[in-house]
Structure 1
Amino acid sequence: MLRGASADAYAATAAALTGADDAGAVGRDLFAVADLLRAEPGLRRVATDASVAGEAKAGLLRDVLAGKVSDLALAVVTLAVAQRWTASRDLADALERLGVVAVARSAGGDAGRLEDELFVFGQVVQDNPELRDALSDPARSRADKARLLGDLLGDKVLPATVALVQQSLSGSYRTVGVALADYQKVAADVRGQAVATVRVARPLADDDRQRLAGALARTYGREIHLNVVVDPEVIGGIRVEIGDDVIDGTVSSRLDEARRRLAG
């Protein structure tokens, strides 16, 4: 989460991320620059040094990136280095987030499908210990992990999904699962939505799903993308997690509360 000066710098830089003919390519370019800044501490320090003139920093990045990224990606990066950042790592984090925004926009009318695919793959990683261990194994190169993911995904998902899943290997998040969850939230925010995780004992019927989404949208003042998790431990009822809010109307939670009262 970017705060203070970095939040203002991000907002100013995001304004340049418009009019991309190939938003997916721009997003991948921004990912590459974020990775470069993380890998090169010296370059990162200069790029975020408030004592160095913005134009000098922009000139340095133009020299380093010329011919390697698109004109729009370069414009975004040079605008970013002219801003003031609270911490040096915030610049790379902001460029990665802007890359996610660009890739999400590239999905166009399939944006909802992108969000679903990110969630589903995040669940696959969470539920498969062998895959989770392989993706977190420091002995395996990032390229090796990328090949593994490429074999798993193939052409079964959107190109935008592939790009974001591959970027989740960058190490900028604690785990791949955490990265995918945050990317989904960014993708939803691009569409003016929030994300709610709904835990139920059995799949929701379409009508129930629509009614729940409508009720949450009225409560939170924006459209809600539902991640539905079928969890037998719920027994009955429903649990909704949206942001820091938890709405727990499950039978299991009521049974736990009854047990606590009896024990007390």
Structure 2
Amino acid sequence: MDIGVCLPTTVPGADGAQLIEFARRAERLGFHSLTVVDRVVYDNYDPIVTLSAAAAVTERIRLTTAILLAASRPSTVELAKQLASLDRLSGGRLVVGVSSGMREDDYTATGTDHASRGRRLDAMIEELREVWRGEGPVPGVGPRPVNGDIPIWVGGHSPAGLRRAARYGIGWISPGGPPQKYPEIVNRVKELWAEEKRDGSPRMGANCYVALGPGGKEAATEHMMKYYSYMGEMAAHLAKGAISEESTLRDVVDGYAANGCDELLLLSVTADPDHLDRIASVVFR
């Protein structure tokens, strides 16, 4: 199983120098991918801009949006151009993870419709690929992706989200949860994959918050209670799921690997690049 790590773009106070060092160190330590999450109405960095900066200071590590709220972007053509540009700048290292998201205010802020976001996302995925082929509503928009296309990975727990992953994506990304519950989703995605007559097997991913070291549990609670404040009491439940012990992280990594996960994406609750060394000492031993 591959291990990726999320750039701490949503951590309050994270500065540019920390994010750049985070990216450099993630590659040096051997992580498979460098990921970003997406929010509009929050004090976070834009995911595409941040990955562009990361592309400039890395050479091999895969760059992944996990997840991009693509349907909240007003222009599909503009988004296609931005993503293709990032893919070219990185030498073809981009994977575009997408989901419809939950928060209505992210859509209100960009002037897009929240209620129809699922249908819009389906249409956008098809249009993104048309633009990358040099077609689309106005043919000739460039640049072209390095390999002619960009892999699209899909998240979302709803039946529509799982179907979208099987129909359009390279696979599915879980937002989190215990590894013991993962196999039932793996099996469901594989069933849908077969119904869509897709070749091969879906790539299965999962996200997990990590806060190792002294004060890790408190740091996770503070960060996640703020980031998920819109979820009310559920935010406290999510915060309890953050991993603050090395032995627990090792068990979770082993559990996901045994239950059908192809790539585990670890989200650090701190912008301190030294946290990556703690994580790497556990997951790569």
TM-score band w.r.t. shorter chain: under 0.3
TM-score, structure 2 normalization: 0.26
The structure that is helix-richer by fraction is 1
The structure with the larger Rg is: 1
Q: Which has the higher contact order (CA 8 A, sep 6+)?
A: 2
The structure that is strand-richer by fraction is 2
